Amino acid sequence: MSIIRTQEEAFTTQVQVLVVGAGACGMTAALAASEQGAEVLVLERDVKPTGSTSLSSGLIPAAGTRWQQEKGIEDHPKLFAEDIQQKAKGKADQDLVRLTTESSGPCLEWLADQHGIPFEILEGFLYPGHNRLRMHAVPEHTGSALLLRLYQSVQQRGIPVLCEATVSDLFVDEDQKVQGVRVLRPDGSIESIGCQALILACNGYGGNPEFLKRFIPELEGMNYFGHTGNQGDAVRWGEALGVELRDMSAYQGHGSVAHPHGVLITWALMMEGGIQVNLEANRFSNEHQGYSEQSVAVFNQSEHLAWNLYDARLHQLGMEFEDYRNAEQMGAVRTTPDLENFSKITSLQHSSLKQTFLDLADFQQGKRPDPFGRDFTGKLLLEPPYHAVQVSCALFHTQGGLAVNPHAQVVLKDGESHPNLYAGGGAAQGVSGPAVWGYLSGNGLLTAVTLGRIAGENAAIRIRVPLN
Ligand SMILES: Cc1cc2nc3c(=O)[nH]c(=O)nc-3n(C[C@H](O)[C@H](O)[C@H](O)COP(=O)(O)OP(=O)(O)OC[C@H]3O[C@@H](n4cnc5c(N)ncnc54)[C@H](O)[C@@H]3O)c2cc1C
C-alpha cells in the first residue's frame, strides 16, 4: 500500500471518477458523480459489496426532512448540529458539523426522489443525545437492505462496480495529483486504472490492529465488530501524501453485543427503561449517556461482561429490530417470571440483584438520586416477567480520518486542498470529536451519505471546470 510517483503510467483502463469502496459512502458518491455526467467506476475488494454498512442498523439521522414533517416532528439542521456538539462536548469540527447537518435532509430526499430509495422515520424512542426523532431507515430497518437498495440504484444507472478489486497503490504526478490506482485481483494479476478524480470511500482502520495500537491504544483487547476489510488504506495513502489527519483517537464503540452470540442488542431497551448490571449484579454507569462510551464501561467490568435486564414491554420493543429477533432465535434472550428466578437464568447473586431493584424503586420515586446521574423519576419500573441478555462490548468503527474541505476534497497539512482527491464516510474525519464519548448515534452513516454525495458531485463538476 503506497504512493507511486509517475510521469506517464500506461493505464489498462481510464475513467473519469474512480471510487474506492462500495459501502454507503462509495455508492452515494457514485450516484452523485454519475448524475453530474461523469463516467464512474467503483472498486471493491470483497466478492460483493457489504462493508460496515451492511453490518449496521442502517439508521441515518437527518433534520428537517419531509418524513419528519409528515409526522409533525419539528426539527432543523441547527438543532441537529447542537445535539452533535453537545455529545462531542463542543469538540467536533464545527464546519463539518454544519456541512453534514445542513446536507442531511436534502441528501436523503435526493436519494429517495432521484434514486428510488424509500425512507421512513424510526419512531418510539430517542437515541441518547438526540432531542428529536430523526433516525431514517429503509422499510426493512437494516443496513444490509440499505446497501442493497443503493447497489441496485447504482446498477440501474449503469455504473460498474468491480468486485474482488483491492486498490493497493495510488499513482501521483510531481504535483501530487492522482493519476490512477493499482488494483490487485485474486488470481494475482495486477491492473492499473487511470482517473481524473479519486474518491476514498474505503472506511477507517478498525480492521487494522497496528493502526488501532498507534491511534487508539485504549482499545487493546476489545473485539472489533465492523468490517474486517477496513484496513486504514485511506490513512496510509493520506499520510504518504501529507494529508492532515484529524480526531484519530475517536471511535464508535458499543456496550451491548450479545455474548457469546455476537449480535447487536438494541440500545432502545436501555433508553426505554432497561438497565445494565455487572457480574456482581450492580449497576455501574448511567446507561443514558450513550452506547458508544458504554463499550468502555463494560470493558472495565469483570470478564468484560454485563447483563442487560429489562421486561416484557421492552422485549416487544426489541422485537421490532432484526438483530434482536436473530439474537432471540439464537437463544441469547432469557426469560424469568420473577426476581427470585433471575439468579437461576443469569447466575447473578439474588441478594445483590434484589438490592439493585430496590434502589431503582427509590430512584423512580425520587427518594434519592441515581449515583450515576440517570433520571428514573416518573419512568415505568421494570415488571415481571423479566428478560436478560448477557452482553460484551466492541469497537464498531473508527471516527478519525482525512481532513476534508466543504467540497469533500482532502486537506493537506499546509492547509491547501488536494486537487483531485476526495474522501467521505469512515475514510474522512468524523463529527464525533476526539474520543469514544463524542459519538452521537448515526454519526457514521451521516458522514457516509452526505460526504459521499458532496464528493461525487464535486469530483464530477471539477473535472469539467477545474476550480483549483
Ligand atoms: C454493528 C454496527 C452497527 C452500526 N449501526 C449504525 C447505524 O445504525 N447508523 C450509523 O450511522 N452508523 C452505524 N454504524 C457505522 C456505519 O456502519 C459506518 O459508519 C458506515 O457504514 C461507513 O460507511 P462507509 O461507506 O464509509 O464504509 P463501509 O460500508 O465499511 O464501506 C467501505 C468499503 O471499502 C472497501 N475497501 C476497503 N479498503 C479497500 C481497498 N483498498 N480497495 C477496495 N475496496 C476497499 C471495504 O471492503 C468496504 O466494502 C454501525 C457499525 C456497525 C459495525
284 C-alpha to ligand 1 centroid (Å): 31
**Does the CB atom of residue 22 touch ligand 1 within 6 A?**
yes
pLDDT tens profile 432-451:
999 999 999 999 999 999 99
Q: Which helix (H) or strand (E) segment is 299 a member of?
A: helix 291-299
CB atoms under 10 Å from CB of 131, counted, come to: 12
Atom of ligand 1 nearest to the CA of 61: 11
pLDDT at 4: 82
Cβ neighbours around 234 below 10 Å, total: 29
Q: How far is the CA of 86 from the centre of ligand 1 (A)?
A: 25
CA of 150 from ligand 1 middle (Å) equals 14
Quote the CA–CA distance of 246 and 403 in Å, as a whole number: 6
The secondary structure of residue 333, as a DSSP letter, is -
177: buried, middle or exposed (CB in 10 Å: 19+, 13-18, 0-12)? Answer: middle
Kindly give the distance from the C-alpha atom of residue 350 to the centroid of ligand 1, in angstroms, as a whole number: 42
Question: pLDDT digits over 380-431, tens only?
Answer: 899 999 999 999 999 999 999 999 999 999 999 999 999 999 999 999 999 9
Nearest-atom number in ligand 1 for the CA of 165 is: 43
Determine the Cα–Cα distance for residues 241 and 412; give it in Å rounded to an integer: 8
Q: Which residues of the chain have pLDDT under 50?
A: 467-468
Letter for the amino acid at 143? G
pTM: 0.94
46 within ligand 1 shell (Cβ under 6 A): yes
Distance 352 CA to ligand 1 centre (A): 41
| Residues near 228 by beta carbon (within 8 Å), at least 6 away in sequence | 207
- 43 membership: H or E segment, kind and range: strand 40-43
pLDDT of residue 468: 45
**Residue 101 CB less than 6 A away from ligand 1:** no
Residue 92: what residue type? Answer: A
In the reported structure, the alpha carbon of residue 41 is separated from the centroid of ligand 1 by a whole-number distance in angstroms of 19
State whether the beta carbon of 445 lies less than 6 angstroms from ligand 1: yes
Centre of ligand 1 from the C-alpha of residue 31, in Å: 17
pLDDT of residue 7: 65
For the Cβ of 201 lying below 6 angstroms from any atom of ligand 1, the answer is yes
142 touches ligand 1 (CB under 6 Å): no
- Check residue 441 and give its pLDDT: 95
Residue from 43, 47, 52, 191 whose mutation best tests the ligand 1 pocket (most atoms within 8 A of CB):
52
Inter-helix orientation angle 77-87/94-115, to 10°: 130
